[in-house]
Chains A and B, each alone.
Chain A
Amino acid sequence: MALRNTTLRWGSLAQLFHWLIVALVITQFVLGALSASLPAASLKKFTWLTPHKSIGITILALAVLRLGWRWMNPTPPLPNTLKPYERGLAHFTHIALYVLLFVMPLTGWAMSSARKFPVSWFGIVQLPDFVPRSTPLYETLHTTHALLAWTLGVIAVLHAAAAFKHHFVLKDDVLKRMTPFT
């Protein structure tokens, strides 16, 4: 399979970005939920929150690379069979997913900064705090981060449901062209 996209299907690198980010985002949901269930002073919280922060920064970096790669490549078009509202909905979900891949890590990083719990990427690089220390700002960012997480969950489910509809109901190649070995 070619590395680059064609006008018919996604190349292997675009697929790798897609599925790697899917796996990492699911991991983030699990780690985020486990961490949210514990008080801040608990050492156990670090067990979940530390990899959550590192993976979040990884997703941010992957999102930058992925978007760059998308711009450098042809994008396989949506099928002509879509009704205008379906086309609009597809565009909306894709744009929202891309936006959230940036906003989720950034709000997470910002809330860590606001509370002066700096982010370390796997203990290798420490990221700078980029918002002032402020409890109300932290509270706002925390709420935003959680609300956006659920928004991301809903949109991702909608996106997956649409892919399954294409594959099982419409029986077109929309899912296949994002799937390796097909």
Chain B
Amino acid sequence: MQAPSSPPVSEQAIQRWLVDQLAEVLAVPPGELRVDRSIFELGLDSAAAVGLTDELAEWLDRAIDPALVYDHPTIEALASALARTSGAP
């Protein structure tokens, strides 16, 4: 297996990061964001979803498949999928 260029980020850290980012994009307090609801139902549109993918790619320093958000549309499912693909615990 190829060694990652930077240490893997944990699922919890990814989830916290997603909550903070989406709270800002959707202009809601982070505490009010449900991690088990579809982020599209929360009001994210496709351009914002792609923007989120870009921010994630910069933060994690790797290319992220923009379709990942559509296949895992809740914060908890997305965090879990991202952690799985980065080899994080």
Answer yes or no: are A and B bound together in one complex: no
Which residues of A are interface residues toward B (Cβ below 8 A)?
none
| Chain B residues engaging chain A, CB cutoff 8 angstroms | none
